[in-house]
Amino acid sequence: MIVKHEINVPYRKATFGMGCFWGCDSLFGVMDGVLRTRVGYSGGTTPDPEYRNMGDHTEVIEIDYDPTKISYADLLDKFWNFHEYSLTAPIKRQYMSLILYHDEEQKQLATQSLKEEAAKSSEELITEIIPAGAFYPAEDYHQKYRLQGHSDLVDAIGLTRKLLQTSHVAARLNGYVVGLGGMEQFESDIPKLGLDDKTAEYVREQLRKNEGGMLYC
């Protein structure tokens, strides 16, 4: 089995905070056009944050995406519709609703989308929009957390510590094993990812079993 971990095409970054980062790692990783995902800490000033000592940072997901396949507006749509926690109730900074923009275009799109979402709500939205600063990757056990719960699958695809943050295959499978993406998309993905029959069947079983379930931490 030759697993196709890397996709080398021009990409852009997007960074969001939407509650616990385990769920959104699965959510975005399985979207067509998303190349890689990693979770970590950003948005604050505390140097070298860790999970048990995060300071003023927020749990975020950093996404590498192919802008010819998926737009920033598509990513924003997913951001607004899949927060783990409320968009209107105050919550501690670790889990806050946060958009970190990487350029002026992202800032404008994010600001406009916030106005549109606010117009739909009877309560004030608490989402913050700020420039993207330093991103600190979270500890290895947080990366592709759902996928790492399937040790045989992890071994089958040769997933290493580095690949937890850089592998396209890991990003996709981290969504499929929790029931995201749909069977049709997965079937079309099998040859693209380089999965053998045994590995594909295992993922297929997980997708069938978990499809339609809720993301949670």
Q: What positions carry a catalytic annotation?
A: 20
- Per DSSP, what are the bridge partners of residue 130? 100
Q: Give the DSSP H/E element, type plus range, for residue 109.
A: helix 104-120
CB under 8 Å to 47, separation ≥6 — which residues?
A: none
- Residue 155 to residue 141: CA distance in whole angstroms: 15
Question: d(Cα 134, Cα 47) in Å, to the nearest integer?
Answer: 9
Query: Rounded CA gap, 136 and 199, in Å?
Result: 32
Q: In this structure, are residues 177 and 30 in contact, taking their beta carbons and an 8 Å threshold?
A: no
